[in-house]
Amino acid sequence: MKISAKAQPPTSAKPRAFADYPRPSVAVDVVCLTVASGRMSVLLYERTIAPSKGSLALPGGFVGIDEGLEEAAARLLREKAGLSQVFLEQLYTFGHPKRDPRGRVIAVAYYALLDAARFGRATALQLPVEVPWSGETGGPVEVRDASLAPRKLFLDHADVIGLAIKRLRGKLDYTPIGFQLLPQEFTLRALQDIHETVRGEELNKDSFRRRMLASGLLEATGARESEVLHRPAELYRFVKRSAL
């Protein structure tokens, strides 16, 4: 009777050193949005170097070796748009191997929300966004210049902006995120305008107001708006009870 040899455990391969692995570059891009005059607008700048010279890009760039992601996003928004101390939230990581012709670049996108007054003080281009889809369908968006001509966006930035708007639409009704698009004191009409513009649809005035007043997110200031031709509306503010 033949006795088989005892099975030997497989020889483990030599562990690879950290330096043996390829090192992709990491970038951040910031979608900075506001609502003004019934339209959503985004901050962009025109690229002056290749690739895609002349296209419009989101404020962004590469992350420093000793820099955190959100720290990099805040720095690039400050350097390329002149804005600081802005609400930022991480959106998504874009990592398709062929997304950037310069090489393997992983981009971590953030979005920032501003009221129209602060947005208007930015040093970057302020252009309206056209959303060609309804609800939370998602997809790329279009940006047009003052002559209403469509502008080419850098790399996948049309998709990045589209995802930010989809995220905002999804969070609008169950978080107080929409208040980031308003000044500290606002009317219920202004709040409804924000919701309608972001969602791309009209809302029933009475039901919207009932829902907002019952949410516990608002408190009356006791003041009314001034310098208006119509009857001054009551002013409200956001009750900051929880993190966004």
For residue 199, what is the domain's CATH number?
Answer: 1.10.10.10
88 and 182 belong to one structural domain: no
Six token digits for residue 178: 């929409």
How distant, in Å, are the alpha carbons of 48, 76, 193, 205 from that of 224?
A: 47, 38, 18, 19
Query: CATH number of the domain that 35 lies in?
Result: 3.90.79.10
Give the pLDDT band (50/70/90) at residue 174: confident
Whether 86 shows a pLDDT value over 50: the answer reads yes
7-21, 37-51, 112-126, 212-226, range with the lowest pLDDT: 7-21
CA-closest candidate to residue 155, choices 236, 23, 47, 72: 47
| pLDDT, mean of residues 87-116 | 95
Number of domains in the chain: 2
Give the pLDDT band (50/70/90) at residue 77: very high
On whether residue 204 sits in a domain, the answer given is yes
Six token digits for residue 33: 């949005």
Six token digits for residue 217: 């997110």
How far is Cα of residue 232 from the mean position of the Cα atoms in its chain?
33
Tens of pLDDT, residue by residue over 115-130, are 999 999 999 999 999 9
Name the residue range of residue 211's domain.
Answer: 176-238
| 16-55 residues labelled b (16+ CB within 10 A) or e (exposed) | eeeeeeeeeebbbbbbbbbbbeeebbbbbbeeeeeeeeee
pLDDT, residue 242, reads: 45
On whether residue 11 sits in a domain, the answer given is no
- Domain final residue, candidates 171, 187, 204: 171
pLDDT, residue 175, reads: 83
Give the pLDDT band (50/70/90) at residue 8: low
| pLDDT, mean of residues 203-218 | 92
180 and 142 belong to one structural domain: no
pLDDT, residue 1, reads: 53
1-5, 79-83, 167-171, range with the lowest pLDDT: 1-5
Q: Rounded distance, CA 231 to CA 226, Å?
A: 9
| Average pLDDT over all residues of the chain | 91
Whether 212 shows a pLDDT value over 60: the answer reads yes
| Rounded percentage of the chain residues whose pLDDT exceeds 90 | 75
78 and 166 belong to one structural domain: yes
On whether residue 64 sits in a domain, the answer given is yes
On whether residue 14 sits in a domain, the answer given is no
Q: Residue 168 — φ and ψ, nearest 5°?
A: -65, -45
Give the pLDDT band (50/70/90) at residue 7: low
pLDDT, residue 243, reads: 44
Q: HEC states along the chain?
A: CCCCCCCCCCCCCCCCCHHHCCCCEEEEEEEEEEEECCEEEEEEEECCCCCCCCCEECCEEECCCCCCHHHHHHHHHHHHHCCCCCCEEEEEEECCCCCCCCCCEEEEEEEEECCHHHHCCCCCEEEEEECCCCCCCCCCCEEECCCCCECCECCCHHHHHHHHHHHHHHHCCCCHHHHHHCCCCECHHHHHHHHHHHHCCCCCHHHHHHHHHHCCCEEEEEEECCCCCCCCCEEEEECCCCCC
